[in-house]
Structure 1
Amino acid sequence: MSQTFVVLDLETTGNAPRQGARIIQIGAVKVEGGKVTDRFSTFVDPFCDIPPFITELTGITDEDVSGAPAFIDVAEDLLKFMDGSGFVAHNVPFDKGFLKAQLEMEGLQFPSTVQFDTVEMSRVLLPKQESYKLSELTSSLDMEHERPHQADSDAEMTAELFLFLLHKLHHLPLITLQTLSQITKGLKSDWLALFQPLIHKKITTSHAEDDGVEVFRQLAIKKVIQKDDRKPEEVEFKTFTESNNEIFGEIGTFAKAFVSFEERPGQRQMMTEVHDAFNDHAHALIEAGTGTGKSMAYLVPSAYYAKTIKKPVVISTYTIPLQEQLLQRDLQLLSSVLPFSIKTAVLKGRGNYLDLRKFEQVMQQIDDDSYDVRLTKAQILIWLLETDYGDVEELNLSSGGKTFWLTVQSDGVSDLGKYNPWFSRCFYHRSRRNAQSADLIITNHALLLTDVVQSNALLPTYSHAVIDEAHHLEEAASNHFGVSTSYLSFGFSISRLGEGQEHSAIQKLLKVAKAQGLTLNLKGAEEALILLKEDVDELFRMIHVFALGEGNNATDVGRISYVFKSFSEQGSLWQAILECAMRIQLHGEKTLLEVTQAYTLTSEEKELTYATRATLADIQVAIAMFEEQVQSVYELLLEYDDQFVYWIEAEPKGAKNATYLYAKPIEVANQLADRFFAQKKSVVMTSATLTVNQSFSYQIDRLGLHDFGVRTSQVESPFLYEKQMKLFIPSDVPNIRGGNDELFVQDIAIKIWRIAELTQKKALVLFTSYDMLKKVYYYVKDLDESSSLNLIGQGVTSGSRTRLLKMFKQAEQAAILFGTSSFWEGIDLPGSELEYLMIVRLPFAPPNQPLNRAQIEQAKQTGKNPFTDLSLPQAVIRFKQGFGRLIRTKQDYGAVFIFDRRIKTTRYGKTFIDSLPPVPVYEGKLETLLEQHLHFREED
């Protein structure tokens, strides 16, 4: 490509040049013929002080820019450098906007040229990246970024990234380039300037397309290559018991598969227990200590058993990271360990998969697309060249992209089966076909439970299962058996069905009928839908007002919550809410009746074309989605089941209808017992945290396992906790008086800062509330006057959980990660990545959390002790999860500090310590503990 580009980056004193912000450094790189040919770099004197946070971010000080040229003195040279070139930046709106504004202040003009935003280009061409921040992009692409947030280094990296993206663009199939040239109009970058020469070259010269890509119905997708990686089967298949020595011996398959193999007695014990439970058709609870190697401990006997009975064994996980670990690491290890071949398949909920038929259809409608929709369509076009699974979890979508996904995700209602030309290539059906012939099926708790309640099974018939992360099974079941709705979800269903939009279900229905020569009168449905939309707006506004007036409990994300019993609430406002809900039922039923009758009439024709079938299928989805929302409002407001808890959540600072309705079963033990455990021959449940004070009774009670003679077993961790860890309980921590005790917050901040400053190591601080986390974070930030500590706070530092963890891993020593909720588990930070863990409060669930409060009330009514039978066990399991973040390998060393005095001052406090592995516990003033601890480290 012969074009010339200038890649530019600016460092500035702020974001708004019209309000006094100024450029302090310019970095520019010229790219020609696929390589860097020239550079321009200079500091700029802004003639004002550089704010401390800018110095902290960039490393640029007032001394660096003192004596540097003024902007006017370098502006002409910069414009000369840019002359005749396309403009490239990582976030064009900022760099171009700032430079243009400062040039205009000096009476100069930004050149008229094409522009390319490498953030947007990366989103499109690298749709699976976790982050599009420059430093994280270049790191994931193995580019050496020496000085992030310095203009010359950032420009160099952006140029390298731009060249990488151009190279990828060159290798796209012609049909993909042609389609992209249509849908990228209206994006920030001038994509057409890149596409046109490439399209022309591919059309006018002979070129071979990638063998790994096929073009079908004007879409280029990754070709499915059927691999036969099965090993030659032995003449005689040996059972798990017969193969023990072949697996575990000194020259066994385990020793060969692992570079530094070390036999773990606990792992071997767990394998035998899983095998025995399967063979004996027994349910089992197995608590496997950290480091046991539990994934392989259940995968090996599962594979043997599946092979023996020639039926699949289902493996269910709760979190995506564990599912990814199984796919990327453990299943490959399993293959190298087993003396026979094994077929595995991954199956998720249908909405995770892209429906190629729907995507083909929406690609023909681009005129009215928003920026987010165009961007998402472009992302999916590139992703189709790379994906084997069509799983949305591979994609990094914007919030608008996630909404768009709802229109192209797979679903059972619109499945055309044999009438769908995409059927053989359908991602969902491909996954199901793989699962039908698999020995091991990897799925998640949500799909497992969906399969339990649906008559048309999603999973192939199975009788044996392993549930990993089993401490989440109750929560997953509660979520699954619950009902919810919101203004946004109801509004989305209304817009899909009607509201006069060109692509709505009603308009499509009228077009299909007209093409068939039918006359439909849907005026009644359209009028009813208009009235219903008004009622939905009013309903959620009234519920919002009601919740803010009655509710006084704040959720983790800052919403106000209120538990209600629909027919027990008093006042004219609630009566108006119920009347409005009844009107919604009336207008909803009228709409559904007319639209369903019209749908039935138009779908009766025997010789329907593919296009008509596809349109009718989409109409059916819109009807089903709308019906589900109408039914949800009925169940939530006009019905009452005393086995459920009902509540409202409202955004106090959000829109007047930013309201959510929920209902969940108070307990799921009976449903799990009757609909799951009674239907399966053997279910093995495992986790590192199933016991409370060495007893499984809490899990047996909550999961409904009393009548099944469930086997229980604890497999000890191979770690030497008494040598690898110490547990410290400072005695000079004030007792907390209420959730917002300022004295407690200040004292904790001082202690966290003192530990981090003295140790200069990485620490994780776990909280039970966002509010306290933020307060402590800012106190520690104030104490850290020299900015020697790298502070990363959930909800304070921008980014997802994954991004915060990545920042923490990449940080130098003396970093503190402040986390709550999800940070208590699923984090693997071995060695120097984490050496100190601080638990601010014992993790009791908030008593005002709706489901928890309902469970407490039910426990009282059934004669149980709500604290000892419910609240305490929940907190202990959570505590053990947090505790387990520290020691991850036999080489790890660490210290845990607990700042909640209740662990020593209450009778129940002993339960927390007794539930842990044997670890030395020390109590005393913090300074004394630190002195003992550091002395202890020196002895080591």
Structure 2
Amino acid sequence: MMQAPMSNSSDSSLPPTGSSAIQRRVMVPDASALVATPRGSIVLTTEGEIVELTKAQTAERLKREPHLIVHTRFTARRFGVRLGDMAQSFDALELFGFVYPAQFCTPTPLGLARTLSLVDPAHTPEPEELAVELLTAARTLAQTLADQDYPGRDQAAALARTMDKAGWAWGPVVTAALGAPRSYADTGWLTGLEAWKKLPEWEETAARGKPGNRPVAPEEAGGRLRQLVGAGAEDRQGQKDYASAASRAFLPREPGEPHLVLAEAGTGTGKTLGYIAPASLWAERNDAPVWLSTYTKNLQRQLDQELTKLYPDPEQKSSKVVLRKGRENYLCLLNFEEGAGRAAAGVAAPGAPGNPSLIPLGLIARWIRATRDGDMLGGDFPSWLVPGAARAGNEGGIGLTDRRGECVYSACPHYKTCFIERATRKSRNADIVVANHALVLTQAANAHIPDASGELVLSENTQRVVFDEGHHVFDAADGAFSVVLSGFETAELRRWIRGSEARRSRRTRGLRERVGDLIEDIDEGPKLLDEAESAARVLAGPGWQTRIQTEAANTPAEQFLAQVRLQVLTRNTNDTTPFSLETQVSPPIEDLPATASRLSNGLGELARPLRAIAGLLSKRLQEEGDSLEPATRMRIEAAYGAIIRRTGGLIPSWMAMLQGIGREPDEGFVEWFELERSDGRERDIAMRRHWLDPTIPLAEVVLDRAQGVLVTSATLRDEPVLQTAPVEDVLDPFSGASRDIHDMPDMSAGPTMAEPPEDEMHWASAEVRTGAMHLAAPAIRASFPSPFDYANQVRVFAVHELGRARLDVLAGAYRTLFEASGGGALGIFTAIARLRAVHERLQPALAAKGLNLYAQHVDAMDVGTLVDIFKSERDSCLLGTDAVRDGVDVPGDALRMLVFDRVPWPRPDILHKARRSAFGGGRYDDMIARLRLRQAFGRLIRSADDRGVFTILAPLPSKLLGALPKGVVVERVGLAEAAQASADFLNQ
């Protein structure tokens, strides 16, 4: 690695950053500034010369000498350079992350310049300008640190010195700007890494009590909506009607009356503020939270932003609104402390060499002091700052988030400052909890488990819930209520009981460390722990993948998985494919039932001491409950719940699956074996069990128990092309899900809910896929059309000549269309392999035209970051799969063309084939394809001023035309005609 010399140059035109800014000259790297372009790069040399380079020339420069760049990992990937082969770079994003931790910045030179207000937001600089501004950005950031009033200065100074010793490229710049750190006695900062020491502690509060039952009238919801949109805002009748309909979910529940509202609101209706209005009113007047649940992290962020309109004061919003996710999303302070301690030890000794692993931890330490809630996945942690920091096993992964079952709760030294515990307590006192479907349904799935006192644990979110992105509720329920018996899952259970058995692991805590001191004074306590640890050897141990592949499986779980793998490979003719393989469970190969029986017996032996340990915890809680410290009581309750979830749910489910091998699965369930592969590598071996209809448990444990639920989306209903068959025949596959419209409740106080009888078929899919059909009372149903003029704002083309074209032909079609649009184009693929192949062929062609191409599963960035870049660069192009199809919100002409590679039929795997057979055969496939097309189409037009072209590179069957808005005509044309018509339409 090269260490570039420093320059003492300064920019006297830069103003002081604060009232008491000192006017010291700041150092900047004596390195060339490099900005990537579609064709290669632009370099501003240290002599002030602008040089244009090809990709090959850029790659050689990056290996040979240091540069000032933006996003090291992406730059290396873009130019085909291994990170280890690059000369030490000066990544401006690292400096930004140090100076402005937990603040957003699009990770491009343009994004950095705009964030620092170095360029006019309406101006898109040329690459030569950006190279100059990149150097200005470095100076600006360094000057910000030089301000005596810079917040967090003491930690920053101590940390800069530590990171400099570790070999951080920016170390000399930052230490010079901050100056020498003050003494530990004055600041309490030794290395600066100990960010956990000064976090505020959370406090326990009194129980909130049961919610009230005061209703929210439609006119009251309208009043709150007017407050949210503000005076002078556009008057949208559809939004007011929607808010009125949503308020029906916040009425007191009456016997036999509907408490579920299904509301479809077309794009542009304004549904987010429409349901926030009644939800916030109900929460305020009934002293209870409303849970707003989304499917994607992107919408969670959008909801959080929208709630600022309700609570503009940051302190009030902090007390009223909380974002909740699963534990695995949050930084674990104990993980960080242990990682930081090991890294710091490498630079503590005089003359010790630098420790590069400390540098990312230093950047995270800065973020810890600034973060709102410790959320590393979709929160305010910049995903580009330390890629893979959250989860171990990712590229460059450190693994700092919480792992299942790893937490020791009140036995942890960071318990009182824990981000997860803080979020949990805040949600109990918040008015609005912004969560996701996975968390809401997982909590609900555990609601049948009795607590340590023998009472049923009712999920804290079962009163009033809004499921936005309601078209994904079926899939979320499918994941929450399924069971998987796999190598990964059994190894996780073994680690949870025995602790880590791998020498290189950072953590070794097992069940003994979590509960040993709680039951050590009880005679049988230590013995039961010994028995549980011994019985856990039945499960897959460290290195299980290698042993199974080399036919050396040595535990009952590994032997069972080896037989599962053998059956999958035997029953698949193309077992060399890089993709995952699956096969039916029955009939099993000869030795499989016996190995399944041994594993089932072993699991039964494992469950016995675990249940006994849970009994000891429950007994102690009941006998000593009044005298226990609150933290100890909560620790006992947490440990009890963790054990019971495994012995009362997981292990019995595994045993039932194993005992059923060789017999037909229970009616209503689907089982199969799977060999999971990723990029050609075997990742896991599994037996899976899913509900044929996962909305059955959804209705039972969530919808039926709740006081009021709103399920909403822009694409709730399926709209098949009307046939001549009677309505009841069309609905037959859905088991009579429809109800007579005349049985609907009177909605005279709000918008008209009644639909014409022929519209029943449109609601059938919504009732099936949301669980409404399983409730005793019918759902209240409302639909609100989009206000957009799609007939004039959109052109739709189905290119009939491609069919299942070769990859080079497919890439050529994308090139022709993307060039016709001049960028601003989004390509949606139904398969990752096809996306990657097209990207490889398409990128050089677009680069020759000066168009940047980004791609999910190719570029070293998460989907959210790629979308942010796509939004900020008007003429860039983006390729993605379903995650992009469902999560893009790009108003304006940054998105003006959307191209589907083919009709998005569902993949005919074992689970889908079973559901297709149960839900109407080919019509079920048609419904899913239409809903996917509707969702994708909704990405294209986000405002009344948008114009766009929607193209599918395949014949579009007439039966799928219901996916498009009324008035939109599909033009079935050739590729050349589609390209020319697109260019003409977009250039009008």
Q: TM-score, normalised by structure 2?
A: 0.68
Specify whether residues 195 and 585 from structure 1 end up closer, same or farther in structure 2 by C-alpha distance, changes over 3 A only. farther
Deviations 1:344-376 (A, max 9, x none): 443333444456577668877778999898567
Q: Does 1:880 align with 2:934?
A: yes
Question: Aligned runs of 1:282-431 on 2, under 5 Å?
Answer: 282=258, 283-328=260-305, 330-335=306-311, 343-354=320-331, 378-393=362-377, 394=379, 395=381, 396=383, 398-399=387-388, 401-403=390-392, 409=402, 425-431=417-423
Alpha-carbon separation, structure 2, partners of 1:373 and 1:637: 44
Match of 2:791 among 717, 722, 740: 722
Give the aligned partner of residue 920 of structure 2: 865
Alpha-carbon separation, structure 1, partners of 2:679 and 2:895: 37
Structure 2 segments unaligned to the other structure (5+ residues): 9-22, 77-86, 120-124, 205-213, 348-354, 448-455, 542-553, 720-758
Deviations 1:705-728 (A, max 9, x none): 234211222101111112211222
396-405 or 359-368: bigger deviation: 359-368
Give the aligned partner of residue 265 of structure 1: 237
Deviations 1:831-854 (A, max 9, x none): 210112222322111112x43123
176-185 or 755-764: bigger deviation: 176-185
Preserved contact between residue 376 and residue 390 of structure 2 (Cα < 8 Å): no
Deviations 1:643-667 (A, max 9, x none): 1333313327666664455432221
Alpha-carbon separation, structure 2, partners of 1:458 and 1:162: 53
Match of 1:710 among 761, 765, 779: 779
Preserved contact between residue 414 and residue 620 of structure 1 (Cα < 8 Å): no
1:880 Cα deviation (Å)?
0.1
Question: Aligned runs of 1:119-518 on 2, under 5 Å?
Answer: 128=102, 140-142=115-117, 147=127, 172=152, 201-203=181-183, 219-221=197-199, 240-241=217-218, 243=220, 253=227, 256-257=230-231, 261-279=233-251, 281=253, 282=258, 283-328=260-305, 330-335=306-311, 343-354=320-331, 378-393=362-377, 394=379, 395=381, 396=383, 398-399=387-388, 401-403=390-392, 409=402, 425-455=417-447, 457=457, 460=460, 463-484=463-484, 486-488=486-488, 490-491=490-491, 494-495=494-495, 497-498=498-499, 499=501, 504-505=508-509
Preserved contact between residue 539 and residue 581 of structure 1 (Cα < 8 Å): yes
Question: Aligned runs of 1:669-680 on 2, under 5 Å?
Answer: 669-680=695-706
1:753 Cα deviation (Å)?
2.4
Alpha-carbon separation, structure 2, partners of 1:751 and 1:218: 54
Alpha-carbon separation, structure 2, partners of 1:616 and 1:180: 41
Structure 1 segments unaligned to the other structure (5+ residues): 9-31, 44-51, 97-109, 227-236
1:684 Cα deviation (Å)?
1.7
Q: Does 1:924 align with 2:966?
A: no
Give the aligned partner of residue 700 of structure 1: 767
Opposite residue 819 of structure 1, the aligned amino acid is G
Give the aligned partner of residue 589 of structure 2: 570
Preserved contact between residue 148 and residue 154 of structure 1 (Cα < 8 Å): no
Question: Aligned runs of 1:552-701 on 2, under 5 Å?
Answer: 559-565=579-585, 568-572=587-591, 574=592, 578=596, 581-582=599-600, 585=603, 634=655, 637-639=658-660, 641-642=665-666, 643-651=669-677, 658-693=684-719, 695-701=762-768
Opposite residue 913 of structure 2, the aligned amino acid is R
Specify whether residues 386 and 934 from structure 1 end up closer, same or farther in structure 2 by C-alpha distance, changes over 3 A only. closer
Specify whether residues 270 and 184 from structure 1 end up closer, same or farther in structure 2 by C-alpha distance, changes over 3 A only. same
Deviations 1:736-792 (A, max 9, x none): 3xxxx52xx444433332233334242222221223333333444465583443332
Opposite residue 589 of structure 2, the aligned amino acid is Q
Alpha-carbon separation, structure 1, partners of 2:820 and 2:968: 23
Specify whether residues 631 and 654 from structure 1 end up closer, same or farther in structure 2 by C-alpha distance, changes over 3 A only. farther
Alpha-carbon separation, structure 2, partners of 1:650 and 1:771: 16
Opposite residue 409 of structure 1, the aligned amino acid is D
3-state SS of paired residue (2:902):
coil
Specify whether residues 218 and 481 from structure 1 end up closer, same or farther in structure 2 by C-alpha distance, changes over 3 A only. closer
Alpha-carbon separation, structure 2, partners of 1:662 and 1:149: 55
Deviations 1:168-219 (A, max 9, x none): 998547578768988998676697998899897412896799xxxx999970
Alpha-carbon separation, structure 2, partners of 1:303 and 1:94: 42
Match of 2:803 among 718, 735, 756: 735
747-756 or 134-143: bigger deviation: 134-143
3-state SS of paired residue (2:423):
helix
1:287 Cα deviation (Å)?
0.8
Opposite residue 334 of structure 1, the aligned amino acid is L
1:422 Cα deviation (Å)?
6.0
1:562 Cα deviation (Å)?
0.5
Specify whether residues 770 and 277 from structure 1 end up closer, same or farther in structure 2 by C-alpha distance, changes over 3 A only. same
Specify whether residues 602 and 553 from structure 1 end up closer, same or farther in structure 2 by C-alpha distance, changes over 3 A only. farther
Q: Does 1:896 align with 2:876?
A: no
Deviations 1:850-907 (A, max 9, x none): 43123124x1xxxx52221x21111111110011111110011112222221424xxx
Alpha-carbon separation, structure 2, partners of 1:828 and 1:510: 44
Give the aligned partner of residue 12 of structure 1: none
Deviations 1:398-438 (A, max 9, x none): 43642398776398996756x88866645444434433344
1:819 Cα deviation (Å)?
1.9
919-928 or 267-276: bigger deviation: 919-928
Alpha-carbon separation, structure 1, partners of 2:280 and 2:106: 36
1:696 Cα deviation (Å)?
1.1
Deviations 1:473-529 (A, max 9, x none): 111111011123554554455456243869634697599889999997888877766
Specify whether residues 381 and 597 from structure 1 end up closer, same or farther in structure 2 by C-alpha distance, changes over 3 A only. farther
Specify whether residues 200 and 583 from structure 1 end up closer, same or farther in structure 2 by C-alpha distance, changes over 3 A only. farther
Match of 2:880 among 793, 797, 819: 819
Specify whether residues 528 and 39 from structure 1 end up closer, same or farther in structure 2 by C-alpha distance, changes over 3 A only. closer
Return the index of the structure with the highest Cα Rg: 1
Specify whether residues 373 and 514 from structure 1 end up closer, same or farther in structure 2 by C-alpha distance, changes over 3 A only. farther
Specify whether residues 286 and 59 from structure 1 end up closer, same or farther in structure 2 by C-alpha distance, changes over 3 A only. same
650-659 or 746-755: bigger deviation: 650-659
Deviations 1:261-305 (A, max 9, x none): 211111011111122453374322111010000011111122333
Specify whether residues 421 and 411 from structure 1 end up closer, same or farther in structure 2 by C-alpha distance, changes over 3 A only. same
Alpha-carbon separation, structure 2, partners of 1:880 and 1:485: 35
Preserved contact between residue 265 and residue 785 of structure 2 (Cα < 8 Å): yes
Alpha-carbon separation, structure 2, partners of 1:600 and 1:302: 38
Specify whether residues 205 and 836 from structure 1 end up closer, same or farther in structure 2 by C-alpha distance, changes over 3 A only. same
